[in-house]
Amino acid sequence: MTKFSYSDYLSQFRNAGRKCRDFHPRLQGDFRRGGGGGGRGGGGGGTEDLLKENKDGWLPLHHAAYFGQTECLKALLRGNSSVDKRTLQEQTALLLSVSCEHLPCVRCLLESGADPDICSNNKETPLFKACELENVDMVSLLLSHGASVNQRCGQGWTALHEAVSRNDTEICDILIRAGATINPPNTYSITPLTVAAQRGLMGPLSYLIEKGADVNIQTCDGVTALHEASKNGHKEAVALLLTKTADANKPTKSGLLPLHVAAQYGHHEIVSLLVSATSRAVLRHSWITPLHLAAEHDRHAAAAVLLKTGADVNATLAPGHSSLYADRRATALYFAVANGSTRTTEVLLKAGASPSLDPISPLLMAARLGCVSTVSLLLERGADVNARIPSHATTFPAVIPLCMNNLPLLKCVLNHGCDALSCFTSAMSHQKGRLSELLDSTGEWHAIKRKSCKSTFPKTRRPHKHLHKKTRVR
């Protein structure tokens, strides 16, 4: 018998011009001489070599499928090669052939009885892979040979999830006609519709809604398709969902409506769409307002839209949630200031935000951040320059220690009437020496100090100089 070793077989595969044409007759001769059973002993040494695995668990069958060698594949299948034999990564010849888009090899394997539902170690099936590759012919062929249309891969993802994620409406239609479930949830209860909304894929989104997908289905976190479209800025998807009875008043488990999410991510056009669809009563029962989230994340355009459509600029956090913050912040203004959002702060102040509703003045937060422009804005809108911190009683303004290393900021608060003299007379001031050192080091301070003294102490008449002329003794 002519021996045909595994290494000889692979070398013929990888020889760019030959494509195994010398291999087929030799192999067929082996099988004829061995009676088709050379792999079971009886002198069939060549066939036994072809049934040996390499270090990755690959047989020649896997290589034939991977390289698209249909004739080699047929010969191997006639030689008792197991059509569903898996590699160490649980890959079948069918999965390898699908992955490389060798349609004739796929057809050959399926006609030889290959199981189309065997998955790899990452739970990827041939059908799932065909959807990933957007290969319509491959998908149709697998389904015609009994591939399970609703089989799940890792994380519970189905072929329909994958087709939607690839924005392939044609494959979606093939799958649904073959019996694909329209609302299959994955491990996190994410459906294909949620995927389409999340990515703004209008074709699959419209198609799924037309086929009866539930537009209000929620994930394990309570997130809907409308939340996802609002979060990712897909205006057209939001508009479509709203016209298809998507509920804008369904909160997530954390209590956020789609309007909250749109405001948080700064999608002001989507905010405009959602305002009219969102119940004021539901908003009043939320622990936080969309305006707070816009302020916290410096979304000034979204904040402006909310204010224009009637949002309460002085609304406060629910008491139970305000207490979760060390400073017990309550207003959207404080959130904006704490985030260093000067532009959003300006929008809120122009809309009438009060700088005196929080336990700690937003002015002190702005001073702590060293933001002179925000401090100036707050002072111009009536913030108390001499505000104290309730839990730290002092006889001098709390803003002064926050200006120790920021002379422009100190000048700003002094120019707005800060009671600086109390720092020099207070027995409780631990910063007296540092303040004096800072101020006395610059000539500008002396001018400020003189100005402050003039406005604090009553003016006294200076004594007239004696103008007596000396009488010259003649």
Confidence at residue 161, expressed as pLDDT on a 0 to 100 scale: 98
Lowest mean pLDDT among 23-27, 52-56, 211-215, 446-450: 23-27
pLDDT at 33 over 80: no
More confident call, 51 vs 92:
92
| Beta carbons within 8 Å of 275's beta carbon, 6+ residues apart | 259, 305, 306, 309
- Share in percent of the chain as helix, strand, coil (round to 5): 50, 0, 50
- Name the token pair of 377: 């804005």
Q: Which of 21-25, 189-193, 241-245, 425-429 has the lowest mean pLDDT?
A: 21-25
Residue 453 has pLDDT above 90, yes or no: no
At 419, list the tokens: 């009671």
pLDDT confidence tier of residue 26, bands split at 50, 70 and 90:
very low
Asked whether residue 474 carries a pLDDT value surpassing 50, the answer given is no
Res 91: pLDDT: 95
- Judge contact between 287 and 255, C-beta under 8 A: yes
| Residue pair 160/176 in contact by the 8 Å Cβ criterion | yes
HSE toward the beta carbon, residue 182, CA cutoff 13 A: 15
Give the type of residue at 168: D
Mean pLDDT of 279-291: 95
Give the residue-averaged pLDDT of 399-403. Answer: 87
Q: Where are the domains of the chain?
A: 227-237+258-274+290-354, 360-451
Provide the pLDDT for residue 389: 82
The pLDDT value given to residue 187: 93
Tell me what the pLDDT averaged over the chain comes to.
Answer: 84
| Structural domain 360-451, CATH architecture | Alpha Horseshoe (1.25)
Q: Give percent of the chain above pLDDT 70.
A: 77
| Distance, CA of 85 to chain centre | 41
pLDDT at position 441 is 53
Phi-psi domain of 178 (left: phi exceeds 0; alpha: psi -120 through 50; beta: other): alpha
Distance separating the N- and C-terminal Cα atoms of the chain? 158
> The tokens 């007596």 sit on which residue?
468
Alpha helices in 244-299, H assignment, sequence order: 258-264, 268-275, 280-284, 290-296
Residue 307 is predicted with a pLDDT of 98
Q: Which two tokens stand for residue 4?
A: 């045909």
Q: What are the two backbone dihedrals, phi and then psi, of residue 214, each rounded to the nearest 5 degrees?
A: -75, 115
* pLDDT of res. 461: 46
On the question of pLDDT at 270 being above 60, the answer is: yes
CB 227 within 8 A of CB 198: no
Question: Residues 244-254: what's their mean pLDDT?
Answer: 97
Between the alpha carbon of residue 398 and those of residues 213, 300, 365, 374, the distances in Å are 58, 29, 11, 17
Please tell me the predicted confidence (pLDDT) of residue 132: 97
Say how many C-beta atoms besides its own lie within 10 A of residue 81's C-beta: 21
Instruction: Count the Cβ atoms, other than its own, within 10 Å of residue 426.
Output: 15
What pLDDT does 405 receive? 86
Mean pLDDT along residues 317-333: 91
Q: What is the pLDDT of residues 54-103, one digit of tens each?
A: 888 999 999 999 999 999 999 999 876 689 999 999 999 999 999 999 99
Query: Which amino acid appears at position 377 of this protein?
Result: L
E strands within 205-290?
Answer: none
Provide the token pair at 278.
């969102």
Joined together, the tokens standing for residue 7 give: 């290494």
Over residues 369-374, mean pLDDT: 94
Q: Do domains 227-237+258-274+290-354 and 360-451 have the same CATH topology?
A: yes
DSSP 45-79: HHHHHHT---TTS--HHHHHHHHT-HHHHHHHHHT
Nearest to 367 by CA among 323, 336, 398: 398
Query: Is the pLDDT score of 142 beyond 60?
Result: yes
At how many degrees (to 10) do helices 70-78 and 103-111 cross? 20
Return d(Cα 376, Cα 372) in angstroms, integer. Answer: 6
Q: Quick one: CA dihedral 106, 112, 116, 121, positive or negative?
A: negative
In degrees, rounded to 5, the angle at the alpha carbon of residue 433 between the alpha carbons of residues 431 and 437 is 115
Q: What is the pLDDT of residues 152-197, one digit of tens each?
A: 988 899 999 999 999 999 999 999 999 999 999 999 999 999 999 9
Secondary structure letter of residue 403 according to DSSP: G
pLDDT at 440 (0 to 100): 58
* Residue in 361, 403, 390, 358 with CA at minimum distance from that of residue 378: 361
Q: If you write DSSP's letter for every residue of 347-400 in order, what string do you get?
A: HHHHTT--TTSSSS-HHHHHHHTT-HHHHHHHHHTT--TT--BTTB--SS-TTT
CA dist 236 and 201 (Å) reads 10
Residue 439 has pLDDT above 70, yes or no: no
Q: What is the pLDDT of residue 215?
A: 98
Confidence of residue 203 (pLDDT cuts 50, 70, 90): very high
Structure tokens at 242: 């709203």
Look up the CATH number of domain 227-237+258-274+290-354.
1.25.40.20
Q: How far apart are CA 157 and CA 317, in angstroms?
A: 39
Q: What letter would DSSP give residue 146?
A: T
Question: Is residue 434 over pLDDT 80?
Answer: no
pLDDT score recorded for residue 451: 55
Residue 392: φ, ψ to 5°: -135, 85
Please give the pLDDT value at position 82: 87
Pairwise CA distance, residues 9 & 302, whole Å: 66
Give dist(CA 105, CA 87) in Å, integer.
18
The confidence score (pLDDT) of residue 156 equals 92
